[in-house]
Amino acid sequence: MKNIFFFPFFRLSIPDLSERGCEALSLVLSCHSSSLRELDLSFNDLQASGMKLLSAAVESPWCTLEMLRLHFCNLSERSDEALSSILSSQSSSLRELDLSNNNLHDSAVKLLTAGFRAPHCKVNTLRLSHCKFSERGYDALFSVLSSHSCSLRQLDLSNCDLEVSVKFLSAGVKSLHCKMETLSLSGCLITEEGCTSLASALSSNPSQLRELDLSYNHPGDSGMKLLSSGLKDPGWRLDTLRYGENV
């Protein structure tokens, strides 16, 4: 039998991944000689069986993967079960998860938030730009921010419809347990009322938030005045505020 050598590499992008490809990739990920840190599987129609193989590999104590990108992967509920398993795994090294441009249903959000509440979850960056949730889904997602075990520091919700659900986000940011430092809300249809809600949350609990992106929204004069004045408040940690349409 010929010897197989796995050469160390740090970043890998794979298009047109088949189920057999998932099997081969899972072997690489769980190999003790692998040093892969970033994996981009965007634009693959990942079947539940493929995601199950990958999740088992990522949960391996030998796996060194820290960033997983899954843009446009048509994730199913069984795929989300596999992702939740990764998040709650004690041995997983994953720090960043990008699920942008997926149609995540409420059941998927419930599974993911369960993973983020797990005491062993190490993921601190979550990207969900161009994802669509119901109001109930947003409520579940933002409730995890107030969990003392949640490790999230950076959340990207760009181009999601938060016009109604920004109240749930504000409640999460207001929590003493919220560790969020960077919040990207560009193009989220946030109105003057929503900005007022965010400003109120930051005033009630200055939190850890340092960077807030509200570009391409509709904050109104009073909403932006409240947030801008907060930058001068010594109690706030916010030092970067983006708004308008030319940022």
Q: Of 7 and 102, which is predicted with more confidence?
A: 102
Domains along the chain with CATH numbers: 11-103+117-123 (3.80.10.10), 127-148+156-247 (3.80.10.10)
What is the Cα–Cα distance from 174 to 152, expressed in whole angstroms? 15
* Among 130, 68, 133, residue whose Cα is nearest residue 94: 68
Enumerate residues 6+ apart whose C-beta is below 8 A from 9: 35, 36
Q: How many CB atoms lie within 10 A of CB 151?
A: 17
Q: Token pair for residue 142?
A: 């933002």
Intra-chain end-to-end CA distance of the chain, in Å: 58
Q: Whole-model pTM?
A: 0.89
pLDDT in tens, 131-178: 988 899 999 999 999 898 888 999 999 999 999 999 999 999 988 889
* Among 210, 162, 145, 224, residue whose Cα is nearest residue 182: 210
pLDDT in tens, 16-62: 788 888 888 888 888 877 788 999 999 998 878 888 889 999 999 88
